[in-house]
Structure formats: structure tokens, C-alpha cells
Amino acid sequence: MATGDGGAPAHDNHYVPQFLLRRWSLDGNTLFARRLLVSNAGVPEWRERSLRGLAFQSDLYTTPAPGAVADEFERWVSSSFEAPASKAIDKVVLGERLMREDWQSLSRLFALQDLRTPASFFAQMERWDRELPGVIEATTKRAIQELEDARKTGRPLRTPAGQNHFSKVFEVSVERSSDPGGEAFVRTGVTLGRRFWLASIRHLLTGAAEVLTEHKWTVAEPADRGEWPLTDHPALKLNYYGPGKYDFGGGWGVRRTDLMMPLTPRHLLMTEVGKDAGRKVVLTQEQTDRVRRFLVERAHRWVFTSRQLDWVVGVRPRLVDAEQFEREAEMWARWDEDQTEAEMS
């Protein structure tokens, strides 16, 4: 849901949409949740919790820019990604035939869930810290070279057609020397945080993510009466090399990467890039156990199920750490204030 009563901006941003969480609820209001980081060992392994209080963070996606709609991002993903995917999942549950546009909607939901979670934010921050300085330096040098070439040849600079998603994220300034004929210095800066994250999500969802719509997706059911668990980072990009040898660093368009995400307790969207397994399969018990383990291992801080599942506890022991628990709680309590201050400074 993108707006509050009377069209007021939504500030409780669900990074796993409620329509998806509701698929695991037996009463339409609650489900079982297991927290993977707890303050003490006395915290119950499972708790039955309200859907509204799960998988959300206040102002995770809000925009503090003057004149902007605070929950513009939330409204956009709700109408363009969540609504079409929800209809496609309804058809999956009813056993109806999915058309090409339905598969495309499900693949775009996969992309959204791969990008919008806190787990993704932290992973992207690490990558940006490592790679962005070199990208900025190379881009700035190229821009300076184009400027010098244009000055020497007298030809006008090429003007980009319109703005892109990063236009308002990077700050560029030119400092000229006071000496006649002196050098000018170009300074480029960017604040790594929420605004850059949202720009990158928009950039990928309207560009690179379209490769996902060309894959041959299937819906996999678990063996017997098994259940696919849902987590706070439900989209997996699995590189599987053999028993006990795998990682979650696969790519959207990389051949042999296994992409998977639960749609309901009985339906798993999946594909092996470059392969067509048919539109519907039922996995063996061994395959079911293996995939369920992958889903739980990839979780960040939460696992959600329709009932208490003992095997989840064995696969993913909780981390009991009071100090880390408090640090994370304080970070999220200050999230909007810290991000807004950084973005507006």
C-alpha cells in the first residue's frame, strides 16, 4: 500500500510486500516469524505476528527532496511491479495458464525483491565503497578530455537527452584558478546512502532487469506436503557447483545461475539461466530440502512461515548478541534522520 488515509504519504515501507506475506498467513492477518538476531537466548524461537508489523522499515524509501512526493518510489513499485505480480500469483494458485505478460510480471517482481531489501542495501554499500571512487575518477577524466577536445576543435559538447536516475545524486563543481590561463579543478562528489540506492534501483529496474523477462521461468512445487519458507531477502541468485559447494553471487543474465523466489508456501518461481525446464515441475525430496536450505541460509534477519517448522531451526541457528542487536536497533531508529541529514547537506 503506497499511501495512508486521505492520500497521505506512506512512511512504513514494506520491503517484502504485504500481498506476498499474506500468502503464508492462515487467517489473513498473522503468520509465524523467526528472528535470526536476538538479544538473549530466552527469546522464543517462533512468534505469531501481525503482517503489518513485519518486513518494513519507517521511511526506508521516502524522498526528502523539496517538491517531491515523499513516497513516490513506494507508489511506483506498487503500481508497476507489485500489482501485476499479485494478479499473476493469483493465477498460479488457481492453476490457470500464465501468459507471457504474467511471466514478465513475476520476473520483474524477482528483480524488485533482489534490490529493495536491507540486505541488498548493505551489500550495495560495500560494493560502492570499493568500486565507486574508481568509476568517478574514470568518468571525470573522460569528461575533462571531452571538454578539452571540444575547446581545441571548436565543436560544441554533446548535450545528454534529459536527465537520468543519477542526475540529482552526483554533485559536480568546477573551481577555476585566479591566475589567467591557470588550471581549473573539477570536483565530483556523491553521498552513498538511501538516495543513491533508490536511484540505482530505478536505473536497474528500468534497464538491466529486462533481461529477466527473456528467461524460461518455471513454478516448482515441493515434495509431499512441504512448504517453501519466505524470508526478508526472498530472491536468490545461486551459483551451484556441487554438494556443499555454492554461493549466492550469481547474476541475472549469467548462464547456469539458478534464480529462485517463493511465491506461496507451495509455489517457487525459478529458472536456470539459459535452460528451459518447462512451466511447472514437482521437485524430489532431496531437491526440496536443498532449495529450502538455500532460502533460509540467504535470509538476512527473518524467516516467515505458515507454521512452526523445526527444520528451519536446525538449518539456521540464531545469532544471540545483545550488543549487535542494540546497534542495529539504534541504526534503524536513526535511519531517516541520518539519511535525510546526509542527503540535504
Residue 152: predicted pLDDT: 75
> How far, CA to CA in Å, does 138 sit from each of 110, 143, 155?
32, 9, 23
Give the count of beta carbons closer than 10 Å to the beta carbon of residue 76: 16
Report d(CA 295, CA 280) in Å as an integer.
19
Those residues with Cβ within 8 angstroms of residue 143's Cβ, 6 or more apart along the chain or in another chain = 186
Apex CA 339: angle with CA 207 and CA 67, to 5°? 70
Nearest residue to 235 via CA among 217, 245, 223: 217
Residues 240, 183: Cα–Cα separation, whole Å: 53
The pLDDT of residue 211 is: 97
pLDDT in tens, the chain (345 residues): 444 444 666 788 999 999 999 999 999 999 999 999 999 999 999 999 999 999 999 999 997 766 666 789 999 999 999 999 999 999 999 999 999 999 999 999 999 999 999 999 999 999 888 887 776 677 667 766 766 776 678 777 665 655 566 656 656 555 665 665 556 566 666 778 999 999 999 999 999 999 999 999 999 999 988 999 999 999 999 999 999 999 999 999 999 999 999 999 999 999 999 999 888 999 999 999 999 999 999 999 999 999 999 999 999 999 999 999 999 999 999 999 999 998 877
Burial bucket for residue 284 (CB in 10 Å: 0-12, 13-18, 19+): exposed
Bridge-based pairing state of the strands 236-242 and 56-58: unpaired
**CA–CA separation, 59 vs 118, rounded Å?**
12
Query: Please, what is the angle between helix 100-115 and helix 83-94, to 10°?
Result: 120
The 10 Å Cβ neighbour count of residue 9 is 16
C-alpha 215/C-alpha 252 separation (Å) is: 9
Please state, in angstroms and rounded to a whole number, the distance separating the CA atoms of residues 53 and 17.
12
Tell me how many degrees the CA angle 235-241-245 measures, rounded to the nearest 5.
85
How confident is the model at residue 47, as a pLDDT? Answer: 97
Contact 236/294 with Cβ under 8 angstroms? yes
Q: In the prediction, which pLDDT does 120 show?
A: 97
Helix axes 100-115, 194-205, angle to 10 degrees: 160
* All three cell numbers of 5: 488515509
For residue 63, the model assigns a pLDDT of: 79
**Separation of alpha carbons 281 and 222, rounded Å:** 9
Whether the CB-CB separation of 333 and 59 falls below 8 Å is answered with no
